[in-house]
A and B are shown apart, each in its own frame.
Chain A
Amino acid sequence: MPDTNKMVRNELVKEFSSFLPADSIIADAETQKPYECDGLSAYCEMPLLVVLPSTIEQVEKIVTICHHRKVPIVARGAGTSLCAGAMPNEQGVLLGLAKFNKILEIDADARTARVQPGVTNLSISQAVRDLGLYYAPDPSSQIACTIGGNVAENSGGVHCLKYGLTVHNILELKMITAQGEFLTIGSQALDTPGLDLLALMTGSEGLLGIMVEITVKLLPTPENARVVMAGFDSVIQAGDAVRDIIANGIIPAGLEMMDHLAITASEDFAHAGYPTQSHALLLCELDGTDAEVDAYITRIENIFKKQGATTIKVSQNEAERVLFWKGRKSAFPAIGRLSPDYYCMDGSIPRSQISHVLSKIASLAQRYGLRVANVFHAGDGNLHPLILYDAGVPGELERTEQLGGEILELCVEAGGCITGEHGVGIEKIRQMPAQFSDQEIKQFMVIKDAFDPLGLLNPGKGIPTLKQCQEYRALNREHSHDHGHEAHAHD
């Protein structure tokens, strides 16, 4: 670490010590190490300093001091991001919000909950279960990921097909600006006058402000909810079944697909009774009144049969419904059973393109000599190809990144988008120029500038500089060129 950085760090430690307990300031490299990355451990950087405040006043003070000294800040919740969105900055402070883990107020009549940002997604639903309510967005990592992180990435989940993303399920945010000021955005009512800043903040990846309190909307637990699980001999058949469900005007509460690799890994952990010999698995949840659910189940079963499903199972009780989902929700880490490392992609495509994109991914994977497992929100076309690799093999990570890049570009070509719900962070910053023109990127910068003119909040994430855009475009051209040659050599 350069001496100037050390000096800054020592001064910051001194200032922070006046209002933070000693064990909330982590300055030694040895124990700072576990903070060097989030859920995407392939990308890491040691921060200047880690702080773990527990009150809003402490956050205000930390941000004010950093602003004054022009020190970057990266906010972090549970560190489960899959796009390196919470990877620290070498010259900055990593602001951990995990101690903000209280549910402050539950209003059963208004069906809202006011919570701190470090509360986990799942614990909100658990806390209001006895009131017959739940919080709808449910990312797979909901057991561990925090609501603050969900807001930063505008997370979705299994149920967002019917109930929307985070942005559709929050009412009010309290945040600290880059200058250290406290700001309330949105309100306890359904709409607020003026611009919809709430929508702007949701998904802003920690670039515009630091959330310190969130009011979420709660939904009544449906009278009945059941899952139909079906195995198919090919992903094409399963993809067609998805198309038919939507074409028939049915909006399931969740509609998920997994391929063979993902099925076997998840079953190994969850013992959910997945058909491990199948090449594709669909999980389709129907909710509503008993009569509605029964009627839908019959229609779904017919569609599955028509598309040649080899096995069909319907959850018989709540425990079984939860078990069916358990496998799906642990699918990413369960892939760790098959491979020491994986790289989780996150792209969206129009539903009509599912079969086409999947077969294209399979041939790309073959060309690169890497295995790809597919887990995705089939209902809304949000793909999560997981590239299996071994970081211990020289060059394999680089090849993985290239394959990942090609997959994302394939999504754009197919009329989709490079991120579904995991955010851009650092991981997808290279693909931003494939998705957006310089003009659009400039607009993003203007917005960033309006909130954070010094560029201190989560620098280097989300929005590439125009110079980077040029480089990435040139590099990508080179890559595809090189790769063309390589592919020939292999042929």
Chain B
Amino acid sequence: MKTKLAPRFAGTKLADEAQSILRSCVHCGFCNATCPTYQELNDERDGPRGRIYLIKQLFEGADVTSATRTHLDRCLTCRSCETTCPSGVQYGRLIDMARGVMEHELPRSPGQRAIRWGLRKTLPNATLFGALLRIGQSVRPMMPPALKNKIPPRQISPRQHKRSDTHKRVMLLLEGCAQPSATPNTNAAVTRVLDRLGISLIAPAKAGCCGAVSYHLGAHDEGLDHMRANIDAWWPDIENGAEAIVISASGCGTMIKEYGHLLKDDPIYAQKATRVSDLAKDIAEILANEPLDRLKLRPTGKKIAVHTPCTLQHGQAQPDLISNILKRSGFELLLTSENHLCCGSAGTYSILQPTLAKRLLKRKINALEGQKPDVIATANIGCQLHLQTGTKTPIVHWIELIDQVIEI
């Protein structure tokens, strides 16, 4: 599509990249067909093709107001449009860039800014998040149901989260921000399963948030700082031969896989960032390449529905990875519909766009529960907690299912 950058953008690296993405869109409209917000709202402005058009206006220098922002804010950044687009349009990059420009040029109201600032400061801070969550959990029994729903009950870890550091093969583990306090069982399971496969995990204390919360909220510099901090935290172990960076939240994984691209113009970090991105692996990618028969699995007769998070199926283009591993491990998987659709969690989306998030949640739960599963398995903490607010069927990280059936 023809795009003529406004003079104020001309020559900037960011705008050049935006222009080349805009030009790769041929306006066919295929992407609207798999976009969750277009499916719900049926308005061109709330689908990828329309958003691309709105973003084109922004970069072409039109007067852009909060009217445009309303439609960009409704985008989940689920990137379903990307895996549908035959022309290879990198929509996720484009909307991130547009959001960055808009946050800068068109500041939000003080109230809106405060909420976003609050999210950027609490979510990525594991200690603060954990403390707040524990307060929430302690008063949870007294809360009205609507609020209660938002706070996950404390997980009781079936076994002690023991770190094994005795194997020759070593990988780095991303602990995550919310995971240690909200879903500690996930990484406990990751540790045990990899231990069985002869892999030790290390998690340097200085590593923190992957940067996704800030970056996707348009606070690009803050996001990049998180990324640099992680690179610094991991670098010594990488130099010491850590094989991979294992990530059990696909949202974080997608972000880390983009470090290389996002820091490509940073003279100090560019090379290291590329290396980190190359090493970043979802736990599913690790398991897909390991001899699972060594785990001696004894699957139960539980019927499982799988929700592959958008970050895994669209962001990392791995739509069948979890299903394939679970099937290979002998689990019975049920048929589900609308697999490409987002559950509405989408990072901070369920907090910032509660109405649409709830509609999508309902739709997703219906699609997952068509054949009455005993358990729903997913691969990202955000999806896990959000889905659980819409159903009584237990939602777990799939690695826990594997961990539970390892013969001891």
Which residues of B (292-329) have their CB < 8 Å from a CB of A? none
On whether the beta carbons of A334 and B86 are closer than 8 Å, the reply is yes
- Contact for A34 among B42, B45, B86, CB less than 8 A: B45
On whether the beta carbons of B53 and A33 are closer than 8 Å, the reply is yes
A residues less than 8 Å from B57 (CB atoms) = 30, 33
A residues less than 8 Å from B86 (CB atoms) = 266, 269-270, 330-334, 336-337
When C-beta atoms are compared, the residue in chain A nearest to B39 turns out to be: A101
Binds A, one of B64-72, B123-131, B155-163, B375-383: B64-72
When C-beta atoms are compared, the residue in chain B nearest to A266 turns out to be: B86
On whether the beta carbons of A143 and B54 are closer than 8 Å, the reply is no
The verdict on B29 contacting chain A, using a C-beta distance below 8 Å, is yes
The verdict on B24 contacting chain A, using a C-beta distance below 8 Å, is yes
The verdict on A175 contacting chain B, using a C-beta distance below 8 Å, is no
- Contact for B26 among A34, A143, A145, A333, CB less than 8 A: A333
The verdict on A96 contacting chain B, using a C-beta distance below 8 Å, is yes
A residues less than 8 Å from B29 (CB atoms) = 38-39, 78-80, 141, 144-145
On whether the beta carbons of B87 and A333 are closer than 8 Å, the reply is yes
| B-contact bits for A328-367, CB 8 A (1 contact / 0 none) | 0011111111001110000000000000000000000000
| B-contact bits for A69-113, CB 8 A (1 contact / 0 none) | 000000000111000000000000000101101000000000000
On whether the beta carbons of B68 and A392 are closer than 8 Å, the reply is no
On whether the beta carbons of B28 and A141 are closer than 8 Å, the reply is yes
Instruction: For residue A371, give the distance in angstroms from its CB to the closest CB of chain B.
Output: 15
B residues less than 8 Å from A34 (CB atoms) = 44-45, 49-51, 53-54
- Contact for A80 among B4, B28, B42, B51, CB less than 8 A: B28
B residues less than 8 Å from A336 (CB atoms) = 24-26, 28, 86-89
> Taking A34-B54, A341-B2 as contacts, is the C-beta distance between A98 and B42 under 8 angstroms?
yes
The verdict on B32 contacting chain A, using a C-beta distance below 8 Å, is yes
CA distance A206 to B30 in the complex (A): 22
B residues less than 8 Å from A23 (CB atoms) = 43
On whether the beta carbons of A120 and B33 are closer than 8 Å, the reply is yes
Identify the interface centre among B4, B49, B53, B86: most chain A CB within 10 Å of its CB.
B86
On whether the beta carbons of B26 and A341 are closer than 8 Å, the reply is yes
| A-contact bits for B27-60, CB 8 A (1 contact / 0 none) | 1111111100000001111000111011001000
> Taking A98-B42, A392-B2 as contacts, is the C-beta distance between A30 and B65 under 8 angstroms?
yes
- Contact for B1 among A26, A30, A41, A118, CB less than 8 A: A41
A residues less than 8 Å from B43 (CB atoms) = 23, 52, 96, 98
The verdict on A35 contacting chain B, using a C-beta distance below 8 Å, is yes
Identify the interface centre among B4, B45, B63: most chain A CB within 10 Å of its CB.
B45
| A-contact bits for B257-268, CB 8 A (1 contact / 0 none) | 000000000000
B residues less than 8 Å from A79 (CB atoms) = 29, 44, 49
- Contact for A392 among B4, B42, B53, B63, CB less than 8 A: B4
> Taking A52-B43, A391-B2 as contacts, is the C-beta distance between A143 and B64 under 8 angstroms?
no
On whether the beta carbons of A31 and B68 are closer than 8 Å, the reply is yes
On whether the beta carbons of B27 and A337 are closer than 8 Å, the reply is no
The verdict on A238 contacting chain B, using a C-beta distance below 8 Å, is no
When C-beta atoms are compared, the residue in chain A nearest to B64 turns out to be: A30
The verdict on B84 contacting chain A, using a C-beta distance below 8 Å, is yes
> Taking A34-B49, A336-B25 as contacts, is the C-beta distance between A96 and B30 under 8 angstroms?
no
When C-beta atoms are compared, the residue in chain B nearest to A32 turns out to be: B45
CA distance A118 to B62 in the complex (A): 31
The verdict on A46 contacting chain B, using a C-beta distance below 8 Å, is no
The verdict on B401 contacting chain A, using a C-beta distance below 8 Å, is no
- Contact for B62 among A30, A122, A331, A333, CB less than 8 A: A30
CA distance A99 to B41 in the complex (A): 8
- Contact for A337 among B42, B84, B88, CB less than 8 A: B88
On whether the beta carbons of B88 and A143 are closer than 8 Å, the reply is no
- Contact for A342 among B26, B44, B54, CB less than 8 A: B26
CA distance A141 to B44 in the complex (A): 17
When C-beta atoms are compared, the residue in chain B nearest to A332 turns out to be: B28
CA distance A105 to B172 in the complex (A): 55
Instruction: For residue A108, give the distance in angstroms from its CB to the closest CB of chain B.
Output: 19
On whether the beta carbons of B45 and A39 are closer than 8 Å, the reply is no
Sort A-B residue pairs by CB-CB distance and give the 4 closest, nearest first. Answer: A336-B87, A391-B2, A330-B86, A34-B50
| Pairs across A and B, CB under 8 Å, 13 listed | A31-B68, A34-B44, A80-B29, A96-B42, A96-B43, A98-B42, A98-B44, A141-B30, A143-B30, A144-B33, A269-B87, A333-B85, A341-B1
